[in-house]
Amino acid sequence: MKWKKFRIKTKTEAEDMIISSLYDIGLEGAQIEDHVPLTTLEKEQMFVDILPDMQEDDGIAYLSFFVEETEDGELLMNGEVTAQEDILKAVEEELDSLRTFMDIGEGSIEIDETEDIDWINNWKQYFKQFYVDDILIIPSWEKVKKEDEGRMIIHIDPGTAFGTGMHETTQLCIRQLKKYVTKDTELLDVGTGSGILSIAALKMGAKHAVGTDLDTCAVPAVEENKEANDIPEAAFDMMIGNIIDDKEVQDTVGYEKYDIVVANILADVLVPLTPVIIHQMKKGGIYITSGIIDNKEETVVNAVKAAGLEVLEVTYQGEWVSVTARKN
């Protein structure tokens, strides 16, 4: 498969926001370049994992994003043939709206070479079965070994959505869910991706889950993973939209309804999400967040406290943080 590569010249501190904005318009898998060297594994996991914050350097950063190219040299964006100038215009519009509230540096876009790689499926060779404590997480194309039969097993194919379970932040959330899920749990999973956290909670005994995501790729991924895990159709509902500022999504998700809200999203999203999501939670409800790189711990803890929640626990894995709080 061929991919046209584009490079954006920006600043280190704007990387996460640009990646997230590119994601919003369907340009997934953006990569940070010219940075502290990454391991091959880290590079390959970029497609499915959160980009780790890198050490500070000269402040200049380069981001690459890829657009699929057909045999006839046409570009496909969100599955539709799109002129190169329209892709550039869409990206420039995103960069302009970021410019209104942050310094993104030069923000110039250059068109690079076409690469012939199976970018979409490349990561699969690095996704192998593994355990989160006693839970087995296994790609849906791998077989369960005899000795694992009987334990909790989560079958996952994230497709082009996020969430193999390999990322530290997902594992932090799974461990917190294990502490708080009961048979009566009504769960809201903001940024559900592959649906892994809802599926884990349902397997732990939760009554019902609602997942939301901005990324439409989450819909087929959730459907497939529900089926692979024998989750009854009605036990896990999914909706696309931004709960932060879309009243219709908030109304559909419902108010004062959830025993647990889990959100494994970058700190920059958790900050505006938190004061909104408290209205979806029942009194006594638990808020489990992750996606927080260690230097953003205080930012999220402060946002959680400012929203009136009581911080119960902060847990860590590698350079990632999870904050768990309660609505009293």
Ligand X SMILES: C[S@@+](CC[C@H](N)C(=O)[O-])C[C@H]1O[C@@H](n2cnc3c(N)ncnc32)[C@H](O)[C@@H]1O
Choose between 1 and 276: whose C-beta lies nearer to ligand X. 276
Six-digit token string for 69: 């190219």
Q: Does 271 bind ligand X (CB under 6 A)?
A: no
CB of 71 to ligand X, least distance (A): 30
- Is there binding between residue 215 and ligand X (CB under 6 A)? yes
Tokens of 19: 């990646």
Both tokens of residue 246?
Answer: 């879309």
Nearer to ligand X, 75 or 197 (CB): 197
- What residues numbered 51-110 form the site for ligand X, per CB under 6 A? none
Q: Which of 204, 199, 155 is CA-nearest to residue 179?
A: 204
User: Tokens 């590079």, residue?
Assistant: 43
CB nearer to ligand X: pick between 197 and 281: 197
Task: Tell me the site size for ligand X, rule CB under 6 A.
Answer: 26
From CA 242, how far away is CA 122, in angstroms rounded?
Answer: 29
Of 51, 55, 56, give the one whose Cα is nearest residue 23: 51
Q: Does 50 bind ligand X (CB under 6 A)?
A: yes
Decide: is 304 part of the binding site for ligand X (CB under 6 A): no
Q: Which is nearer to ligand X, 69 or 218 (CB)?
A: 218
Residue 243 binding ligand X, by CB under 6 A: yes
For 119, the token pair is: 């970018």
Q: Which two tokens stand for residue 320?
A: 């990632």
**Residue 73 annotated as part of some ligand binding site:** no
> Tokens 């004061």 appear where?
275
The three-state secondary structure class of 151 is coil
**Least CB distance to ligand X at residue 2 (A):** 25
Return the closest-CA partner of residue 159 out of 123, 130, 188, 118. 123
Which range binds ligand X by CB under 6 A, 81-89, 118-126, 200-208, 214-222?
214-222
Encoded tokens for 274:
């938190």
Residues near ligand X, by CB under 6 A = 23, 50, 161-163, 167, 170, 173, 190-193, 196-197, 212-215, 218, 242-244, 264-265, 269, 291
Annotated binding-site residue numbers for S-adenosyl-L-methionine = 170, 191, 213, 264
